[in-house]
């Protein structure tokens, strides 16, 4: 039995683009039904990856996915968690899994900074301004986002209590990849 992965059709409330379309569904279709993929296009579907790009993976919190698992890609028909889900296509097999962690903490008593731990390395995003690492840009692109939108999605501001207690905010999860075209190196 497949697990369900729901994709957001709009940016979340805390994001600077709150309420605007993510185009994740269209980008997912571009990934699944590209020339390099063997899945058949759903009837009546026409996609153009040159317009929107592709979503070759998703990043989810926790550690519950394994290579070979299948998922049912879905979206909410209306309000998330309060409406029926729409199944986007047949179940999709997971081809790669990567552990992924983002930590946001205080470096000078005033400003938060964040770093990503991936493949045994640390990548720093200085105050949402230093997005110069090619690997992080590639991860963002494969997730269907610009690097700025990617960091704004995952690097949410710490709570007031976390700041007072000087506690970092940590996101731990997995990159769940269904595309054969993505390779981030040795795991």
What does the block give as tokens for 10? 């709009």
Q: Which residue, 168, 179, 180, is CA-closest to 55?
A: 179
- Whole-number pLDDT of residue 69: 97
Highest mean pLDDT among 15-19, 33-37, 70-74, 132-136: 70-74
Q: Look at strands 85-87 and 169-177 and give their pairing.
A: unpaired
Distance CA 68, CA 178 (A): 10
- Whole-number pLDDT of residue 58: 97
How much is the average pLDDT of 143-170? Answer: 79
DSSP state of 93: E
List pLDDT tens digits, range 10-37.
999 888 999 999 999 999 998 998 655 5
User: Please, which pLDDT band fits residue 38 given cuts at 50, 70 and 90?
Assistant: very low
- Whole-number pLDDT of residue 49: 54
Beta strands in the chain (DSSP E): 3-6, 57-61, 70-76, 85-87, 92-93, 96-106, 112-118, 121-125, 169-177
Distance CA 114, CA 127 (A): 7
List pLDDT tens digits, range 166-182.
777 788 999 999 998 89
* Helix, strand, or coil (residue 86): strand
Q: Which residue, 142, 28, 16, 15, is CA-closest to 75?
A: 28
Cα radius of gyration rounded to whole Å, the chain: 17
- Whole-number pLDDT of residue 126: 54
Residue 105 has pLDDT above 80, yes or no: no
- Whole-number pLDDT of residue 43: 55
């Amino acid at each position: 039995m497949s697990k369900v992965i729901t994709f957001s059709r709009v940016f979340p409330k805390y994001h600077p683009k709150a309420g605007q379309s993510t185009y994740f569904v269209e980008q997912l279709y571009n990934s699944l039904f590209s020339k390099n993929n063997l899945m058949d296009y759903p009837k009546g579907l026409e996609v153009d990856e040159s317009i929107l790009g592709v979503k070759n993976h998703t990043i989810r919190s926790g550690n519950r996915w394994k290579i070979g698992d299948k998922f049912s890609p879905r979206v909410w028909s209306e309000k998330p968690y309060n409406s029926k889900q729409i199944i986007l296509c047949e179940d999709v097999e997971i081809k790669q899994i990567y552990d992924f962690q983002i930590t946001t903490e205080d470096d000078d008593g005033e400003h938060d900074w964040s770093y990503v731990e991936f493949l045994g390395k640390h990548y720093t995003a200085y105050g949402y301004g230093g997005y110069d690492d090619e690997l992080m840009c590639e991860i963002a692109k494969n997730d269907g986002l610009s690097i700025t939108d990617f960091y704004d999605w995952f690097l949410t501001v710490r709570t007031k209590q976390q700041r007072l207690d000087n506690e970092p905010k940590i996101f731990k999860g997995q990159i769940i990849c269904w595309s054969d075209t993505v390779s981030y190196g040795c795991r």
